[in-house]
Structure 1
Amino acid sequence: MPDTGTAPRTAPAAPDDRIQLRTPGQDHADRHARRFGLPVATTLVMGNIIGGGIFLLPASVAPYGTISLIAFGVLTLGAVALALVFGRLAHRHPQTGGPYVYVRAAFGDFAGFLAAWSYWITTWVSNAALAVAAVGYLDVLLPIHGSTFWTIVAALTCQWLPALANLAGTRYVGAVQLVSTALKFAPLLLVAVGGLFFFRADNLGPFQGGGDSPLGAVSASAAILLFSYLGVESASVSAGEVRDPRRNVGRATVLGTALAALLYLLCTLSVFGTVAHGDLVHSSAPFSDAVNAMFGGTWGGSAVAIAALVSMVGALNGWTLLSAQTPYAAAKDGLFPAVFGKKRRGVPPAGVLVAVGLASLLTVYNYTAGSGGVFEMLVLVTTFTATVPYLLATAAQVYFLLSGQADRVRPGRLARDTVLALAAFGFSLWLVGGAGYAAVYQGVLFLFVGVLVYAWMAARRRRSAQD
């Protein structure tokens, strides 16, 4: 039987032992539950990273100018650093839960809860943002932009179909992920490679737009672009469902991130060079516009819109799974309500339903409130909430390394891991600043609500212990 929860011999015995307890044969007894191998784990990472973000973000960062390409390069290096750190942490603690598991093992219950709570917010807010991006491409095929009602219906459909696939079991989650990841590559490669042959320098627009300083423009555009890299930790969050997690989680994380980063950079450069800057700033489907500019007419843009929708549904499929896995791990430790800690067909159904319900409410609110820039606002909130567990997880790695709990490796490897963890921490801190005051303000409000939930759960545990 694959090792799905035994702590490494170099790890401290507690406090994370409780999340390692599993009902004997619970995953193998159900034909709908299936463990992921390296290919599926890699596509889970790539599918979550290459979701809806890349299909809309070139237009979102276009107002900052081509300096955002520099931000993309810096962000890629930071994402790879985070991927390497998560790979090392998953080797140490190969259990379901990702950042929550690492932070709790290093700093205790409260820090672990904050990581779980913040990451959980990231997952369902990201689902709302992905649904908004999906509607932009659906509008290319079925013009619905004039109707708020049908726009909301389309967004909610994009969220609930992947939720139903998750409720059917991990067997179907993996199947949907493989198919959607495979289908999305054709149009992305078409734009990434083909767009270079239609590249026109006069389409690029100004190097720096707006009134920000160069560093401010890079930071602000990187904060938006981070949304396109969320998912780096996907394999580590679902480590309990991965075969041979100590070996496969790290490989899947680094391989999936590196391949996604290469495709991202080529795609963004091609879109910038094929769509006129003035048109790109106001585009709701920049990849469709790029293909239309390359080949003329609208058939190419429609084909890309279909592929983009498939890609976004695949990303929503993976993110819906992640939205249930983190509270599942926390619930097994008594830090989330117990209902989140129950599985059916390999998936925690309560986590899926609560997350998709909250994402649906947020989607409806943002459309009915009539606020502009819905996608960008949601993206910046997730940027902040994502960086909280990233900061805590990289700090946990620094703690493990400096406290003598590192794996027994050569001093050179130990020094390299320490520098890498510090670089990933600094990178995450930089992103918090780039998210902007409004996003940090809203994100902190979300965190403070979590503190109240923690107080409630801690009080219940204490009463239970006294009884």
Structure 2
Amino acid sequence: MHSTGTATPPAPAPEGDHAVPVGDLHDTTRAEDGDSGAGRHARRFGLPVATALVMGNIIGGGIFLLPASIAPYGTVSLVAFGVLTVGAIALALVFGRLAARDPRTGGPYVYARGAFGDFAGFLAAWAYWITTWVSNAALAVAAVGYLDVLIPVRGHAWTACLAALALQWVPALANFAGTRYVGAVQLVSTVLKFVPLLLVAVGGLFFFDPSRLGPFNSSGHGAIGAVSASAALLLFSYLGVESAAVSAGEVRDARRNVGRATVIGTAGAALVYLLGTVSVFGTVAHDRLVASTAPFSDAVNTMFGGSWGGTAVALAALVSMTGCLNGWTLLSAQTPYAAAKDGLFPAAFARRRRGVPTVGVAVTVVLASLLTAYNYFSGSGKVFEVLVLVTTFTATVPYLLATAAQIFHLVLGRGPVDRARLTRDGVVTAVAAAFSVWLMAGAGYAAVYQGVLFLFAGVIVYAVMAARRQRGGTATDRA
């Protein structure tokens, strides 16, 4: 979901838990032709870079707070990690097959629109857009937890809220300055992102103490319910599995490499996540972890004693999450930019300045700020968890639409039939579809309620845009 226009250079790749838009949505020739022009091939990349793209996008800022968010469920959440990884890989395989069928840049938006028409494409783009700016609010709240290690800001809701708003507006101002500044911030934050993750994921295993793990299931519900609820939270860390598919138009031999990069990148990210979470569980006492706002800092403090290590990790995590917000702000603006180019979003979203869709950035940061303030002052004590579960619901909408597109093509059955492949694709697609529906259910009533309100608001927007397009088409016909 991303920008169109053949003359526009690609935006820098933002890090985070979501897809990175690269290239042109409708440039189908770039994906398939054999033109050897330097201008075209300079922007295309092979399997190693595509794999790094997927892994880098999946591993974002959310992981820095998630060990504390799933700790109340107990170590059963580690089982959820395993189940979630299987489901994510099934989605990865589905995206690979869809990219082999339609190797254009755009991912779920392209697949849904191609199979079911404009409304399904709009719904995928709208839900994905909601996911991006709600994720911005969630990442800002997570960053406040690490800022509190450096500067106490969580004593009152209004101080924490102001800090979260500042963490959203600073990256927005960087975006208004142009894509060159966005890229500079990304370079620094990407390096700093992996320092605390690898330190805890690898070093924490040497300090692992099973007595700190806590109970297997402390959720108060059955094991299946606990797995489902914790998996809904954990999905936030896996968003980005679609990255190679979204950027398919820029991948060499996309029909072959997108699927491979998606599976390898997802498996690699899962390994880092699992090691990091197990290390935090085994180094920070369970009762302390449940109340933690900076679990990776607490883990490093436990490993090395004192507070210097935790402070250093908090600083690195804070810079990393600010970088995530920097890139995600650009990404969330590019999604409506692509839809506006197709006439599915208001035309104002297609305006650009210095390579940045400025209207999209402004609308995105305002909406994320309003949502942040609402959740801080609504009386909820778990702002991050509420926001993450909303993104779980909205993210599964384009995932489910993409999976439905694959089901549509399998049932339609055009072309030669390979029964073995058809059976294999059918099983994988069924797993991916069941997985998406299960995550929607696991998001909980509050998240589904807010998510559905956001989606229904989109239906009104689509009705207005569709009427304008039809009226414009009728006027053209008469002329």
TM-score by length of 2: 0.85
Q: What is the letter of the counterpart of residue 153 of structure 2?
A: I
Identify if the C-alpha distance between structure 1 residues 441 and 370 changes in structure 2 by more than 3 Å, giving closer, same or farther: closer
User: Any idea what the Cα deviations from partners look like across 1:129-186, whole Å, max 9, x if unmatched?
Assistant: 0000001001111111125444333322322333344445556555544442332222
Among 54, 63, 69, which residue is 1:45 paired with?
Answer: 54
Report if the CA contact (8 A) 2:192-2:317 is conserved. Answer: no
Among 213, 216, 219, which residue is 1:204 paired with?
Answer: 213
Measured after TM superposition, the shift of residue 205 of structure 1 is 0.8
Q: Could you list the runs of 5+ residues in structure 2 that have no partner in the other structure?
A: 7-23, 31-38
User: Any idea what the Cα deviations from partners look like across 1:267-290, whole Å, max 9, x if unmatched?
Assistant: 111111111111011110111111
User: Any idea what the Cα deviations from partners look like across 1:407-453, whole Å, max 9, x if unmatched?
Assistant: x7854334323322221111111111111122112211111111111
1:416 is the counterpart of 2:424: yes
Q: Could you list the runs of 5+ residues in structure 1 that have no partner in the other structure?
A: 7-17, 25-30
C-alpha distance in 2, partners of 1:425/1:192?
Answer: 31
Report if the CA contact (8 A) 1:191-1:290 is conserved. Answer: yes
Q: What is the letter of the counterpart of residue 473 of structure 2?
A: A
C-alpha distance in 2, partners of 1:215/1:98?
Answer: 31
User: Any idea what the Cα deviations from partners look like across 1:57-85, whole Å, max 9, x if unmatched?
Assistant: 11111111110100011111111221222
Alignment of 1:81-160 (within 5 A): 81-160=90-169
What SS is found at the alignment partner of 1:46?
helix
C-alpha distance in 2, partners of 1:386/1:401?
Answer: 23
User: Any idea what the Cα deviations from partners look like across 1:297-329, whole Å, max 9, x if unmatched?
Assistant: 001111111221132123223322331232222
C-alpha distance in 1, partners of 2:198/2:369?
Answer: 32
C-alpha distance in 1, partners of 2:366/2:112?
Answer: 27
Q: What is the letter of the counterpart of residue 169 of structure 2?
A: W
C-alpha distance in 2, partners of 1:5/1:339?
Answer: 16
C-alpha distance in 1, partners of 2:116/2:85?
Answer: 29
Identify if the C-alpha distance between structure 1 residues 283 and 160 changes in structure 2 by more than 3 Å, giving closer, same or farther: same
Measured after TM superposition, the shift of residue 382 of structure 1 is 0.8
- Bigger CA drift: 124-133 or 421-430? 421-430
Alignment of 1:10-89 (within 5 A): 20=26, 35=43, 37=45, 42-89=51-98
- Bigger CA drift: 222-231 or 234-243? 234-243
- Structure 1 vs Structure 2 CA RMSD: 2.9
Report if the CA contact (8 A) 2:27-2:249 is conserved. Answer: no
Q: What is the letter of the counterpart of residue 418 of structure 1?
A: G
Measured after TM superposition, the shift of residue 214 of structure 1 is 0.9
Aligned to 1:458: 466
C-alpha distance in 2, partners of 1:169/1:240?
Answer: 24
Report if the CA contact (8 A) 1:47-1:311 is conserved. Answer: no
User: Any idea what the Cα deviations from partners look like across 1:70-115, whole Å, max 9, x if unmatched?
Assistant: 0011111111221222233234334343211110100111111111
Measured after TM superposition, the shift of residue 335 of structure 1 is 1.2
Aligned to 2:239: 230
Q: What is the letter of the counterpart of residue 95 of structure 2?
A: F
Among 311, 314, 338, which residue is 2:320 paired with?
Answer: 311
Report if the CA contact (8 A) 1:126-1:378 is conserved. Answer: yes
- Bigger CA drift: 455-464 or 232-241? 232-241
Identify if the C-alpha distance between structure 1 residues 169 and 261 changes in structure 2 by more than 3 Å, giving closer, same or farther: farther
Among 259, 264, 276, which residue is 1:255 paired with?
Answer: 264
Aligned to 1:10: none
Report if the CA contact (8 A) 1:124-1:359 is conserved. Answer: yes
Measured after TM superposition, the shift of residue 294 of structure 1 is 0.9
TM-score by length of 1: 0.87
Report if the CA contact (8 A) 2:27-2:104 is conserved. Answer: no
Aligned to 1:280: 289
Aligned to 1:12: none
C-alpha distance in 1, partners of 2:342/2:60?
Answer: 31
Aligned to 1:214: 223
What SS is found at the alignment partner of 1:20?
coil
Aligned to 2:371: 362
Alignment of 1:160-179 (within 5 A): 160-169=169-178, 173-174=182-183, 176-179=185-188
User: Any idea what the Cα deviations from partners look like across 1:229-281, whole Å, max 9, x if unmatched?
Assistant: 11222343344566775566445433332221110000111111111111011
Percent identity between the two aligned chains: 75
How many residue pairs get aligned? The number is: 444
C-alpha distance in 1, partners of 2:328/2:98?
Answer: 21
Measured after TM superposition, the shift of residue 359 of structure 1 is 0.8
